[in-house]
């Protein structure tokens, strides 16, 4: 085990090297969560839709994504995107992560939508609103609010999972740790340091999500 003082020294020395990767990790996470949220909402609506083929498509997508390892998905999607439509490295990686988290986000939204009291739909319909208007104006706003805490968790998962992008040539946090450990043969030091980076970000974010959750809970009856 490296000593604490050695870890701190190396942390401070290499801090400038980690800044850009840190930013890239954030960008990857943020892009994949935003796109994943759009995918998730679309798939959730497909899954509860009345078109007979909608739920089938949604289920196939969710089953495949949840049933295969993320690293495999990343390689397949990355090379798929990269070679077929060439979106550039960043977006290929971000989309691969988004398609992955989209499946989980879809289930978050579906659960939230179905948790809204049936009386809300009936009230909207009884006022002459169409089912689509009721969904958009009445059900979704309430469901999205209920989705925020689990979406926060998904964000944390996505942040950690973005480390797998190191394997498709993204110079994010974990890639930097691998490079520094390869250069210095001081593997433990840099993997511990990168663990601290992730841990601190996750703890900060958890704190923010909890705070937001409390504030949202206040508005509820």
CB of 212 to other proteins, least distance (A): 16
Q: Vertex 9, ends 202 and 168: CA angle to 5°?
A: 50
How far is residue 120's CA from residue 45's CA, in Å, rounded to a whole number? 17
Place of tokens 């986000």: 105
Nearer to other proteins, 45 or 129 (CB): 129
Distance CA 73, CA 95 (A): 11
b/e per residue 10-25 (b: at least 16 CB within 10 A):
bbeebeeebeebbebb
Residue 192: CB minimum distance to other proteins, A:
46
Q: Which two tokens stand for residue 122?
A: 């009936």
What is the footprint of other proteins within residues 80-139 (CB under 8 A)?
117, 119-120, 122-123, 125-130, 133, 137-138
Residue with tokens 């209920």: 146
Q: Give me the least distance between CB of 46 and other proteins, in Å please.
A: 23
Q: Which is nearer to other proteins, 114 or 133 (CB)?
A: 133
Q: Strand, helix or coil at 11?
A: helix
Please give the DSSP secondary-structure letter assigned to residue 185.
S
Find all residues with CB under 8 Å of 29, minimum gap 6, and list them. 97, 155, 158, 159, 162
Q: How far is the CB of 144 from other proteins (least distance, A)?
A: 10
Residues 136-195 that bind other proteins (CB under 8 A): 137-138, 141-142, 145
Cβ at position 118, least distance to other proteins in Å? 9
Site membership for other proteins, residue 216 (CB under 8 A)? no
Question: Where does this chain touch other proteins (CB under 8 A) — which range of 42-50, 52-60, 193-201, 213-221?
Answer: 213-221
Q: Which residues bind to other proteins, rule: CB under 8 A? A: 117, 119-120, 122-123, 125-130, 133, 137-138, 141-142, 145, 219-221
């Amino acid at each position: 085990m490296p000593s604490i003082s050695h870890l701190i020294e190396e942390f401070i020395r290499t801090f400038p090297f980690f800044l850009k990767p840190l930013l890239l990790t954030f960008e990857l996470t943020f892009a994949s969560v935003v796109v994943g949220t759009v995918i998730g909402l679309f798939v959730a609506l497909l899954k509860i839709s009345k078109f007979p083929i909608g739920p089938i498509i949604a289920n196939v997508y969710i089953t495949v994504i949840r049933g295969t390892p993320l690293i495999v998905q990343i390689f397949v999607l990355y090379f798929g995107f990269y070679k077929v439509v060439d979106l550039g490295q960043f977006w290929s990686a971000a989309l691969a992560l988004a398609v992955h988290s989209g499946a989980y986000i879809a289930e978050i939204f579906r659960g939230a939508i179905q948790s809204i009291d049936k009386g809300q739909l009936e009230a909207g319909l009884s006022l002459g609103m169409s089912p689509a208007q009721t969904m958009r104006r009445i059900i979704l706003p309430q469901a999205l609010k209920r989705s925020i805490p689990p979406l926060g968790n998904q964000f944390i998962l996505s942040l950690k999972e973005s480390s797998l992008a190191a394997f498709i040539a993204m110079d994010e946090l974990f890639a930097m740790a691998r490079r520094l450990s390869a250069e210095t043969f001081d593997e433990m030091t840099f993997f511990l340091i990168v663990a601290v980076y992730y841990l601190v970000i996750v703890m900060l974010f958890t704190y923010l999500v909890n705070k937001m959750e409390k504030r949202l809970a206040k508005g509820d009856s």
